Amino acid sequence: MNLDPRMGRLILELRQGGVTDARVLGVIEKLPRSIFLAGPFKDRWDENLALPIGYHQTVSQPLIVGLMTQALEVSDRHKVLEIGTGSGYQAAVLAPLCRRLYTIERHPALLREAEERLRELKLTNITAVCGDGAAGWPEQAPFERILVAAAAPDVPPVLFEQLAIGGIMIVPIGLDENDQRLTKVVRTEDGAETEDLGPTRFVPFVDGVVAG
């Protein structure tokens, strides 16, 4: 099957932006981003931009999705927690790479739409719930990987406690949209090791709930 030239350009842009993991690029390449968009934005699926999905939320920029997924180092042995389902795009990238994905979204309407898209894609290893993402999912903890799609003032302690020893969390840190850093957190026997992955921009935690 020949690659859509528009997708080819997007994949090239992701490679140039630092996404080099072939597994991550392969999933993004096969995923029809247009189904996660609405109205006039549907035909802009190949733009490397965050685009509106309603409720003051966006579908993330493909480059950021690729970089976050790559940094998470997901394998098919891992149980993953995603905070902020949003449109379901990031979940659809993660699901083919992991054993099981648990995802939390605070907006019921967004979650319903995301679940419909994920069913349409026949992704059967995803469990989704509407709720307080800041509380995580203690009943299913620990998780080998946690991805947070909202900015926190620091490493979220509740989510960190739900991360397995040796596990990885990717989280934007900093509530000022102009001074946020994408951060990789590895839980060790003695605490945490962090790595700055560069600038980013996400909506913040809102009233104790994580925005999707």
| Residues catalogued as catalytic | 60
Q: Which residues on neighbouring strands pair with residue 209, listed in sequence order?
A: 206
Identity at 7, one-letter amino acid code = M
The residue type of 72 is L
From 29, 46, 24, select the one nearest 37 (Cα to Cα). 46
Angle made by CA atoms 23, 27, 32, in degrees to the nearest 5: 165
CA distance 79 to 59: 23
Residues across the chain: 212
In degrees rounded to 5, what are phi and psi of residue 92? -70, -25
